[in-house]
Structure 1
């Protein structure tokens, strides 16, 4: 029992605190967080069973192909092939070359096929069209194909594995160190090797690598690493495949010669029909304690049941007739037993052998406490009436207790880390957030969690930068263009004697904002027909900002939408996502029709252009000159410095 500073009022039975099991039969899972369940029939009560492993280890005579619905089958001395387009099995070679004598195992990976036959391993490419290797391996029992054309072979009576190259040359071996016989061999991603072993009738899964370090693995780990096949049943008479057809799933059954056979009638399921366990006497620490309630938390599929029985005693001793048994299906039981310090519980699980209930937790409440304790003493003078009142009011207490649980758990509904993914849009609606379709669940949860802080600082560069970082996973650079305004400009001029000096200083120069007669150079200022030109130096970049992100980190349209929603209403933002940048030498040639030379200072009448100004000719070509106002551009140039 757990220790607490206050007196205990309940006791839990689960995998964390312990089940206090004194004896059990037909049940397993006392240390499993999934709960106590019925045992599997056979020598391995906790599994896995051979039927559960068939999708990943179909047996040495069967191997799934690379295409959907493709399979290879060893039928005597023939290798048969079946795909989704064929109605049945056919020989892999139309004209049997007689290569196979006594084949024992087949494997496939991609378009390669390997067969272990009479101390040799034969490897074909292009699904049997070309024989590429014949490897001498005495006692070869299982074969598996690995990436890069390598072949992995296990030998009869040995726990070591042998590697061979695409051309059949030996590449070393691996000593697995597993116990028992290797009956299944697979290779997986990350150069992983999966083994299925049998030792005294118990099946075990092992995962290892080329370094020879193997460890036991679970069926869940195997299923996460390798995709399952469509094999659903296999026995001495044949096997069955369950595949997706045009009208739904279709089950096809064959014998070991590839001939169709009817689907066998369903046999007994993998589980035992019933099981039970009994606890040790559980000490309440209270003499003549009035035990109150038993609550069972379990998953009960159709066809299964969970039944609980309790007995209370002062010294831990009881008779078989003292048990109080709840009807099957009752998961909340009021204890109707004489007072006693110890309670013993017995739990029985039953099923139809196809499914099993899972008992996750049992809670025992003590001492008895009901709302009858709040009644005046006059209502509790008669012992018989007092017992009835307690049991009657306990019905309402149980209902109120469930309501209290809902109220206690209500804050969890507002926790973005605890709600399901489907509830995130509802939770975001309470905060006024809207999600885009491309955002994953982790991004949505972080946005909801950071929403209060983002709202408090909304409209600031920090809030905009943080929102972009959460959504796109990259820290942006935010430039406020008001900081880039030219408040003063100092120009260098040449004196009469050739000496250089400082020219005039222009504060809030008008020529840099818009074109003015007599004050702006040709091609140096934009033409605008709105607003007051005197306020251009102040308003040119006011309330404007630019968001810069590295290339490949975000979609530009999505970034624009996010910036538009997060920016203050009086501002205008632009977005720029970097690319490869300016690359010299990628598609340019220096010296071929290219000249780097200063441009002569052009003069147009009495108006002098800038020192690097260029007049671009119109659409009729350079010989026809410049058409002002048609397509020509003044001051358009490229400068490399």
Structure 2
């Protein structure tokens, strides 16, 4: 489609081919910029540690001292200091904040609270000079620990409490009874800004030294060492805290379709404006490249294109200079307008080109430059014009620049057409394009399916359509969506009609007599009630169809899909089965129950489970019977859990079918 007379060459600057920074003595080639080896692109560096995490990035793991996530999803504690301090707990159903200790329960047991922490059903509040510990989510005060200068505390496994004091990064470990057990020397510099204890006993410590946050990890018998944000994210799940400032905070939680962000003040009231981003980045940086060789003497460089993201408050400025021998003056540079990411080279011919990128921001956001493309030599639609149109140099230059606008538009169309087949690849399209691609194939998605499930369905769609209506296709669709292979039970295979006849003998044939030809393995009297042949109550009454055709029509075109208990949502599974089953069939869905039912049909792996005995409980709605339903004291080898291979197990004592 393009009118360009011939293909042009180009040079890329990115993380794969290299940015070729200048390394001479005149000026630094890179300043205030990081990400030269990052495929995501180059960007402004952070203050302090250029490649370290910011305080805002660590908020999901180390919240503000006044916030603590609870044990359930969406559960949070908010410490409200002031003249009448209190502790609020988020109402998950209503969305507001309610006091942990209502006024009817008496005065609030807080004086001058500083920080709050929670773990499971335990709650810890730090006040000047003491640490208060509750269980039952504030229902019972279990310990009051006197600690001078206490600032941070964190509940640890086995009922222990970790406490950090003001002016030191050493940690004090207390037992559930409030007695000091150990002092841990971390060796970290700065002041403690956060404290967490992982389920495996690892202690995660956040410190700030000169405004620079640093993460450390360690524990009992393990020295503390610096840790990365990636290690922290792999060890501890993040909370839903998205942002915080002096006026309030915001939580970003999953919603029906998209995540929902809710903001509050530090007193638990609603907040209309979200917190402003923190200024953790430098405000300017530059990259100066070395001389880029075209390999062509007196090359006419054509075009410079930047693949960049420019958030509000940021800009990228590109400057170039072309030279034949490597020398240049400051006046020789061509400066593009700030924010311009595509421009023509207006320089005299030369073999070498040098590029300078200046990145600027407001301290809270950064531009990101993924790659730079340099096109050379200049090839435009003007090369196809007769020589008479190119006699005047000034007119020729205008014609080239004017036709470059149309050449660029046609080149974009060419690239769009070239990339069109990639839009049909389910593994390569963006997540937002998956519903569009599914519409081309007639697929419909449930709102709860993730992107991986949708891509897997698109990849399997050709084979699913080819074998649609077969047990394999239905089984494969359920496996892709719910991650478990079902059992498909075709009920027609359970027909109980059979009769033995000698070869060539017909029913009622002469000479058949009472021999093998008249013996039925299963009686017809069980299919429907027959006078003179069925027992009362043993067969259903049916007034439709031919009784002699019952062996062929019983349970015809009916099937049942079986899954283990809890493997899938019943309503979503039923909708999927209705869409995938043939139109002439009737399907039903059955999820496994809680145990084995003796005397009824059961499917191993679906309706059966070997579980240990429940703990013996005296009294209640279903009181146990001593010496029959429970073991009051385990034997010398300890309590048994289910059936152990090679270990003696007494049926009714150590095992149970449920």
TM-score by length of 2: 0.68
Whole-angstrom CA distance in 2 between matches of 1:322 and 1:379: 29
**1:507-563 Cα distance to aligned partner (Å, 9 max, x none):** 896445433334445544433222223333233344343332223323444444433
Cα pair 1:54 1:232 within 8 Å, conserved: no
1:462 corresponds, among 449, 472, 495, to 472
Closer/same/farther in 2, CA of residues 408 and 214 from structure 1, 3 Å limit: farther
Report which of the two has the higher share of strand. Answer: 1
Alpha-carbon shift at residue 478 of structure 1 (Å)? 2.2
Relative contact order, higher structure (CA 8 A, sep 6+): 2
Matched, 1:337 2:347: yes
Partner of 2:190: 181
Quickly say closer, same or farther: Cα 1:446–1:315, change in 2 above 3 A. Answer: same
| 1:569 alignment partner, SS class | coil
Change (3 A) 1:72 1:16: farther
1:277 and 1:347 in contact (8 A); partners too: yes
Contact 1:457 1:463 in 2 (8 A): yes
Residues 64 and 229 of structure 1 are in contact (CA less than 8 Å); yes or no, is this contact kept in structure 2?
no
CA contact (8 A) 1:189 1:225 kept: no
Cα 1:112–1:79 shift into 2, 3 Å: farther
332 and 220 in structure 1: CA distance in 2 versus 1, 3 angstrom threshold: farther
| 3-state SS of paired residue (2:407) | helix
1:551 to 565, 576, 583: 565
Task: Give 1:328 shift.
Answer: 1.4
CA contact (8 A) 2:133 2:144 kept: no
Single out whichever of 145-154 and 295-304 deviates more from structure 2: 145-154
Which whole-Å CA distance do the structure 1 matches of 2:55 and 2:591 have between them? 56
Within 2, Cα distance between the matches of 1:555 and 1:50?
Answer: 40
Q: What are the superposed Cα offsets for residues 351-409 of structure 1, whole Å, 9 maximum, x if unpaired? A: 34454322222111222222334445555565554443332221111111222222233
Q: Does 1:397 align with 2:412?
A: no
- Specify whether residues 163 and 409 from structure 1 end up closer, same or farther in structure 2 by C-alpha distance, changes over 3 A only: farther
Pair 36,215 (structure 1): closer, same or farther in 2 beyond 3 Å: same
In 2, the alpha carbon distance for the partners of 1:443 and 1:519 equals: 55
Query: What SS does the aligned partner of 1:408 have?
Result: helix
Name 1:71's counterpart in structure 2.
79
Summarize the alignment of residues 109-508 of structure 1 with structure 2, pairs less than 5 Å apart: 109=118, 112-115=123-126, 122-125=131-134, 132-133=142-143, 142-146=152-156, 148-154=158-164, 161-172=171-182, 176=186, 179-187=188-196, 190-191=199-200, 192-198=202-208, 202-208=212-218, 212=222, 214-218=225-229, 225-228=238-241, 231-233=244-246, 240-242=247-249, 269-376=279-386, 379-380=389-390, 383-486=393-496, 488-489=498-499, 504-506=518-520
Partner secondary structure for residue 21 of structure 1 = coil
- Partner Cα distance (1:555, 1:58) in 2: 35
Give the CA deviation at 1:307.
Answer: 1.0
Deviations 1:7-48 (A, max 9, x none): 9922222233332222233434434444333344x5445565
Q: Secondary structure at the match of 1:19?
A: coil
Distance 1:389 1:168 in 2: 85
Aligned-partner Cα distance in 2 for 1:296–1:428 = 33
Aligned partner of 2:610 in structure 1 is none
The count of residues paired between Structure 1 and Structure 2 equals 538
CA distance in 2, matches of 1:252, 1:14: 45
- In 2, Cα distance between equivalents of 1:283 and 1:351: 31
570, 582, 596: which one aligns with 1:581: 596
SS of residue in 2 equivalent to 1:289: coil
The CA deviation string for residues 313-364 of structure 1, in whole angstroms up to 9 with x for no partner, is: 1232211111011111211011122222221101112334454322222111
Secondary structure in 1 matching 2:301: coil
CA distance in 2, matches of 1:385, 1:481: 85
- Distance in 2 (CA, whole Å) between partners of 1:158 and 1:250 is 32
**CA–CA separation in structure 1 for the residues paired with 2:572 and 2:317:** 57
SS of the residue aligned with 2:346?
coil
Q: 1:153 to 1:229 in 2, by over 3 A?
A: farther
Gaps of 5+ in 1: 1-6, 234-239, 254-265, 492-500, 590-641
TM-score, length of structure 1 as denominator length: 0.70
2:551 paired with 1:537: yes
Does the 8 Å CA contact 2:152/2:195 hold for their aligned counterparts? no
Name the larger-Rg structure.
Answer: 1
Q: Given the superposition, is the C-alpha separation of residues 536 and 174 from structure 1 closer, same or farther in structure 2, using an over 3 Å criterion?
A: same
Q: What CA distance in whole angstroms lies between the structure 2 residues aligned with 1:481 and 1:80?
A: 67
| Structure 2 partner of 1:497 | none
Kept after mapping to 2: 8 A contact 1:421/1:441? yes
The one-character-per-residue Cα deviations of 1:545-588 (angstroms, maximum 9, x if unpaired) are 3332223323444444433332223334344333223159999x
CA apart distance, 1:457: 0.6
Residues 144 and 185 in structure 1, CA contact (< 8 A), matched pair in contact too:
no
After alignment, is 218-227 or 461-470 more displaced? 218-227
Point out where structure 2 has 5 or more consecutive residues left out of the alignment. 1-6, 23-28, 89-96, 252-261, 268-275, 502-514, 600-612, 615-621, 625-658
More off after superposition, 461-470 vs 509-518 = 509-518
